[in-house]
A and B are shown apart, each in its own frame.
Chain A
């Protein structure tokens, strides 16, 4: 059973989606119930995965590797390490909550909606399990389709614009990634004589010249950076979030953005360690800009949801900053912050959705004094807001602290500038909270707002538990991600010492013309974005 567990976790939602096809359209309760059950069983499987995961082992676990399209060396190769493990569990949790959150808010096309949700889950979990580049790319693109529909069909007034913007941005990046993957395929064939898309083999064996690394890193990084989103590729995010239905935003912020950072950790750092070193200053600076820019712009938003969206830009900047510290603290903080952001921002979007369902507005100025009429809601919101701004003993603190500590060890200036984001976070969050919840109730519509019902509390309680669990006793999570992080750090360290030996001047070499090496990348029209 253990062997098939990954396949089961990944494809169980797909099976559910197929089952849903046979449920008649006019039985919405059966559709919702069935999809909830499917998502819940998937969650149980993911817990099983967590439980069965060997903390002491190094390397991939639950591996499955069977040929799929042999002529091209495409395998069905799945496996997870601690990083993917946590992200899978997060995905499974958020999907259940997202389905619960859609219970009353989705009224049209219910069947299609829930099928999309389950397809999305398969795509997301698949990305975190795939150890074959082809498989990875398939899952990566598969995810896009249901999300396109969720935003474009069940979204707000500007949903079509937002959905198209989202898809175009992502497609643009992933096409370059595809080119890079194909290049890797041929390069591996030239090196070993056989075709293979195998991520592990390519990472471990394939020697890449420095210049190859730089170009390939650029292609992958652009795809991932758009997904993260890293400044200045972030403008699709606020539109997508504002227009997406609540559940869409939760999944988008909670999981889809993590695809970008996960891609960096899974592919860019171990496969192109030297290029990672070379790109470090650019990515770190963009990450710092994202931290501060996102926070400042969040501060002046008029819509709560776009405020949360811009705060995501800021938080994702932290994740990128920590990752590119290339040390244990920075990377572990980065990974744990991926989970934290999923939990806290997911919870924020859920909370915003709850008030939107009541008032059909999210404008800050339409509220005021909500704490008086909805004290339970206000309390949940406060806890989540505090975790989002990284108050100690909540999850956000553990992540941000380690990220800044790791960054500080690597580069003092980056850490000091990045840490100012902590101040701005308090500004935008508390200012918004004050205007929504404090003061007198000035609008008649707000006077009769009803506090949370049991369904809504059930949605929020698991996330609040996670907020405190990760904040107070994060050890089990760190135990699981440490081996994976150590592997990456070792790879980067090796590259660092190599670079030190050859005394490489990254930038100069990059722009120097070297005919012998440039010919192969001549097709890639896109220059590195920096």
Chain B
């Protein structure tokens, strides 16, 4: 069985090649079948591999497969090799599982699109790249997946490339990600330079001997790796591409920009936890960036009117939570939230897609309202997801978010300030999510007549994935119910072998703290639940019961609203501070330096030569008499000189 590990990424690759090479020659049903079936196969295989892994003794849960030597260069050698352990097993399940549902959903959603074949080609390529990313057994192959998903993101954001905003957004995503990748690469160089290998296993073995714990080198390396994560997972200051990425088809937003690709940074940090744990300063950076991003993005989410943009900022914010978890060395909690977030955020995006589909491509929530009667399944499933993301007890998001908040408070790397910021974010999250629900599904129907007459619930191929994801959003949390409820946290337990790098210190510390502070943990949990409920009530009040409040609030705090609505003007600042100066510098280098300075010098040299020759040529008259005269004059001069001397 384990010999077939390579098939997990290979199936989508075959799907990609089939659909890609025969593009324009296959009928739609075949395209859909190839696209969905290849990912479905990967999912089934992932499940089987998961159970095979589970059957092993916890300490031995590793399946490796080396396919061939990729780049051999002197002492540097990297393989195409795959690694299945508890961490990557969870990831391939999420990627292929959620991926499969979204492929199925796309069959309905993209039905009318002329680029249907191209769409599934890209989507399969994405799945291949993402599975490569999580299954790679070394940094370099991981980077293949890393850039590969970036490429697919670029292609899919700009899928409707005739639209300028779409191709702009795609390009922006790629370039901003490259800035992160630059950091990642340098980090990888440091690791190779010291450890002499890029293989995760070997680096893990070597790390304690080649790096000094807490030393500058390992801290730099980790921060550089984190720079890569900041780009890919849209954290401050490189988050700007993700909201724009909403230009892509909505299922793409669900798959790439919510459930899978953007979480690659979190996965990467969990994968390299053995390095981060050696660099507490780097962990602090991760935690601070994470929690600040969580809060910052949530505030922007309060003022957006585009339904997908609200979800985009929400994603940025939730990713911040995951980094907060990693930053306090609770990598398992981060991955747990990654998983539940994949369920409910994919569901939210797909639900939003269903709304947009029904609303004839309208995305502005100000033109929606009262949709719950028309779209019952969409409404009901989205409500479940909203309750999950808000953190209502019992829903999956509750367990994962609560775990993070508690760890942020209690971990040895935690701090009460982290908890406070995370706590406020939780309130904001509940508020903006219910604002979305009320604006979209409740109140007056604000759309025009033509749109209203077209409203319809989406086809089965779209609602079925919604239902499945709703079930997962509801119950997906049970695998990780915290200790405090008197059960074993199965998820944390499962992840333990991978997180051994996190050191006994952390593991010993947490139970001790929680044992002593059970009361505190309950108290913090109740406080956040109370805040969430209050926020929901506030949203209800403003956006449902007394809608005039929304307008008056907006007027009262018009400055704050304008700043939030314009996303703190960060894009404008980047444009003025980075993009334009670079373009002007480039123009200067070309027009002035290249053309005027270098070529001017050379052409000047050439014309100097030409003019001098011209001057001298004056003497070359060709007339013998002139020559004879000059000759004579010369002779006279020489003779005179000799005589006089």
What residues of chain A have their CB less than 8 Å away from a CB belonging to chain B? 232, 235, 238, 293, 296-297, 299-301, 327-329, 332-333, 369, 371-372, 375, 386, 391-393, 397-398, 401-402, 404-405, 408-409, 415-416, 419-420, 422-423, 426-427, 430-431, 434, 437-440, 472-475, 478-479, 482, 486
Contacts and interface: CB of A to CB of B under 8 A. Distances in A.
B74 A327 contact: yes
B161 A371 contact: yes
Given A232-B598, A238-B594, A328-B73, 6 more contacts: A235-B599, A293-B589, A300-B587, A438-B158, A439-B164, A473-B70
Contacts of A372: 162
A392 B148 contact: yes
A438 B151 contact: no
A439 B143 CA distance: 30
Nearest to A332: B73
A423 B175 contact: yes
Contacts of A299: 582-583, 586
B189 interface: yes
A235 B71 contact: no
A487 to B, nearest CB: 13
B167 A438 contact: yes
Given A293-B589, A402-B76, A440-B162, A235 B175 contact: no
Contacts of B74: 327-329, 332, 482, 486
B143 A427 contact: no
B175 A430 contact: yes
Interface of A is mostly: helix
A420 B68 CA distance: 31
Contact of B590 (A297, A398, A474): A297
B338 to A, nearest CB: 23
A300 B590 contact: yes
B179 A296 contact: no
A293 B590 CA distance: 9
Interface in B265-305: none
Contact of A423 (B164, B179, B589): B179
A398 B71 contact: yes
B178 interface: yes
Nearest to B591: A300
Interface string B493-505: 0000000000000
B182 A430 contact: no
B442 interface: no
Interface in B158-179: 158, 161-162, 164, 167-168, 170-171, 174-175, 178-179
16 contacts: A238-B594, A293-B589, A296-B586, A297-B589, A328-B76, A369-B162, A375-B24, A401-B185, A402-B71, A402-B73, A404-B189, A430-B174, A434-B167, A438-B162, A439-B162, A472-B70
Given A434-B167, A438-B161, A404 B185 contact: yes
Contacts of B174: 426, 430
Contacts of A300: 583, 586-587, 590
Interface in B59-78: 68-76
B15 to A, nearest CB: 17
Q: Which of B23, B171, B189, B589 gathers most chain A CB within 10 Å?
A: B189
B138 to A, nearest CB: 12
Contacts of B158: 434, 438
B23 to A, nearest CB: 8
Contacts of A473: 68, 70
A393 B144 contact: yes
Contacts of A293: 589
Given A235-B599, A392-B148, A431 B76 contact: no
Nearest to A390: B147
A478 B148 contact: no
Contacts of B192: 405
B632 to A, nearest CB: 35
Interface in B121-161: 140, 143-144, 146-148, 151, 154, 158, 161
B549 interface: no
A436 to B, nearest CB: 11
B574 interface: no
Given A296-B589, A419-B185, A423-B179, A478 B71 contact: yes
B617 to A, nearest CB: 20
A431 B171 contact: yes
A426 B586 contact: no
B585 interface: yes
Interface of B: 23-24, 68-76, 80, 140, 143-144, 146-148, 151, 154, 158, 161-162, 164, 167-168, 170-171, 174-175, 178-179, 181-182, 185-186, 189-190, 192-193, 582-583, 585-587, 589-590, 594, 598-599, 602
Contacts of A430: 154, 171, 174-175
A405 B602 CA distance: 37
A235 B76 contact: no
A329 B164 contact: no
Contacts of B164: 438-439
A427 B189 CA distance: 23
A473 B80 CA distance: 10
Contacts of B585: 296
A4 to B, nearest CB: 33
A232 B171 CA distance: 31
A475 B161 contact: no
Given A419-B186, A438-B167, A440-B162, A426 B175 contact: yes
Nearest to A435: B167
Nearest to B150: A391
A479 B74 CA distance: 10
A422 B598 contact: no
B69 A475 contact: yes
Given A297-B590, A398-B71, A405 B189 contact: yes
A213 B185 CA distance: 36
B161 A328 contact: no
Contacts of B182: 419-420, 422-423
Nearest to B179: A423
A404 B181 CA distance: 13
Contacts of A371: 161
A422 B599 CA distance: 27
Nearest to B164: A439
3 nearest A-B residue pairs (beta carbon):
A328-B74, A438-B167, A392-B144
A426 B162 CA distance: 20
A286 B594 CA distance: 15
A25 B206 CA distance: 70
A420 B180 CA distance: 11
A440 B140 CA distance: 38
Nearest to A382: B155
Given A296-B586, A297-B586, A333 B73 contact: yes
B583 A405 contact: no
A290 B72 CA distance: 28
A503 B587 CA distance: 44
Nearest to A440: B162
A372 B148 CA distance: 24
A56 to B, nearest CB: 15
Given A371-B161, A405-B189, A420-B182, A391 B151 contact: yes
A470 B148 CA distance: 17
Given A332-B73, A398-B71, A408-B193, A426 B589 contact: no
A297 B182 CA distance: 20
Nearest to B198: A405
A486 B72 CA distance: 13
Nearest to A168: B606
Contacts of B181: 422
Contact of B594 (A297, A392, A397, A409): A297
A408 B189 contact: yes
B586 to A, nearest CB: 4
Nearest to B183: A419
Given A328-B73, A439-B162, A392 B175 contact: no
Nearest to A398: B71
Contacts of A408: 186, 189-190, 193
Nearest to A369: B162
A404 to B, nearest CB: 7
